[in-house]
A = this chain, B = another copy of it.
Amino acid sequence: MTKQRIGIWIIGAWGGVSTTAAIGLLSLQKGLTGTSGLVSEHPYFEKLDLVGWDQVVIGGHEIRETSFVEAARHFSETSGVFHPALLQAVEPELNEFDNNVKPGTLIHVGDTIRSLAGDSVKQYDQESLQDTLARLSADMTEFQKQHDLAHVVVVNLASTEPPVEESAKALTLAELKEKLASAETSPVPASALYAIAAMNAGCSHLNFTPSAGTDLPALIELAEEKQILHGGRDGKTGETLMKSVLAPMFAHRNLNVMSWVGHNIFGNLDGKVLDDPVNKSNKVHSKDHLLTEILGYKPQTLVSIEYIESMGDWKTAWDHIHFKGFLDTKMSLQFTWQGTDSVLAAPLVLDMVRFTEREWRRGNRSGVMTHLSSFFKSPMQATTPEFERQYQQLEEWANTVSEE
């Protein structure tokens, strides 16, 4: 099967991660940057014959009024990333990408996210649920047609929603369909609506956020029915990546972790949204559960995420791990991680889109892509919580695919 042009449709298109992904993609197309941080560029995956960077177009949904260039400039000023010369070099193409950005939806996003919304999206406040779903889906289909794309991968990069309600988790596919067809208020959060719209449009779906997305029983069923590839949740970029790498060490040396304290500070838009306790609870849960899974017991844990404006996109995490060694001797490990959140996340989005397109090209069109587990904090249907074993699954998948 020949490789053809593909599209990335991003929910939260003018956000930090998306903007970085767009700038990065264009820089790669123009040969202006190296391939650091791109997993799919690791020599191991050369054999996969992945889609080339020049075959990729970006579009998406957004609720704020801004543009790629404006977002990039703000980001560059507050966080000191993106050299102005680089930004200038890709400005024309960024402006073109802006044409691919359409208003999303504000259904069930919570007050904090709503407060960021612009008029373009608010004009749909009175729209019926059925019309919203149809509109979102049509935007994706239109994007695919207009750019003559073989396939579109929808990626959710929007700010974290409040936790999903139990009623949404309890829905069967039949119940979901019924409610979607007739109900006045949505039975599921915005992230799931975007996912349903993606499935209706025949797009693959990746959920890089802690929001529900496709991680609801009814949506998993729907993906099978519609023959959709999907994966999620919550990109694993910094402190949690470290946890999934370090916790196995303690487990496999039988060092008893008594407490694991993690404090995260950062100052980007994501941080502002997480300053709302409702949105934060969703995030903290996603960062906390894997220690118990890896260690086999629950140490005392503490995870804080605090908005410190001066940090901009630089997320600094300090972790203090207190553990008991032989003869019950108490010892400790501390680490400080200083990384740009969006710059860590953006390449993983591009990587996953390439791996997803490869799986789709392979002919597999349905189900959770568990070989992408290493990219997520809470990977759906994962068989192991340990980073290295998850990464080995990606290698094994690559071996299988390349031998076909």
Q: Which residues of A contact B (CB under 8 A)?
A: 20, 23-24, 27, 33-39, 41-43, 80-86, 241-242, 245-246, 248-249, 251-256, 258-259, 261, 263, 265, 296, 300, 302, 304, 306, 308-311, 316, 318, 320, 322, 324-340, 343-344, 346-347, 374, 386-389, 391-392
Q: Check if A337 sits within 8 Å of B333, measured CB to CB.
A: yes
Q: A338 contacts which chain B residues (CB < 8 A)?
A: 331-334
Q: Check if A391 sits within 8 Å of B42, measured CB to CB.
A: no
A80 to B340, CA, bound (A): 14
Q: Check if A259 sits within 8 Å of B388, measured CB to CB.
A: no
Nearest CB in chain B: distance from A252 CB, A: 5
A302 to B388, CA, bound (A): 26
Q: Check if B320 sits within 8 Å of A340, measured CB to CB.
A: no
Q: Which of B34, B85, B249 contacts A328 (CB 8 A)?
A: B34
Q: If the complex has contacts A335-B333, A335-B334, A340-B329, are A316 and B320 also in contact, measured as CB distance less than 8 A? A: yes
CB-based nearest B residue for A312: B330
Q: Which of B81, B245, B259, B263 contacts A263 (CB 8 A)?
A: B263
Q: Which of B42, B83, B263, B343 contacts A254 (CB 8 A)?
A: B42
CB-based nearest B residue for A308: B259
A336 to B324, CA, bound (A): 16
Nearest CB in chain B: distance from A333 CB, A: 5
Copies of this chain, whole number: 4
Q: A325 contacts which chain B residues (CB < 8 A)?
A: 36-37, 339-340, 343-344, 347
A387 to B389, CA, bound (A): 12
CB-based nearest B residue for A241: B249
Q: A37 contacts which chain B residues (CB < 8 A)?
A: 253-256, 324-327, 329
Q: A309 contacts which chain B residues (CB < 8 A)?
A: 258-259, 300
Q: A24 contacts which chain B residues (CB < 8 A)?
A: 326-327
Q: Which of B20, B81, B258, B331 contacts A339 (CB 8 A)?
A: B331
Q: A258 contacts which chain B residues (CB < 8 A)?
A: 309-310
Given contacts A248-B388, A261-B306, 16 further A-B contacts (CB under 8 A): A24-B326, A37-B255, A37-B324, A37-B329, A245-B249, A246-B246, A252-B387, A252-B391, A259-B265, A263-B318, A304-B304, A318-B318, A325-B344, A331-B340, A334-B335, A386-B388
Q: Check if B300 sits within 8 Å of A308, measured CB to CB.
A: yes
A27 to B306, CA, bound (A): 34
CB-based nearest B residue for A40: B254
Q: Check if B328 sits within 8 Å of A322, measured CB to CB.
A: no
Chain B CB count within 10 A is highest, among A84, A252, A300, for A252
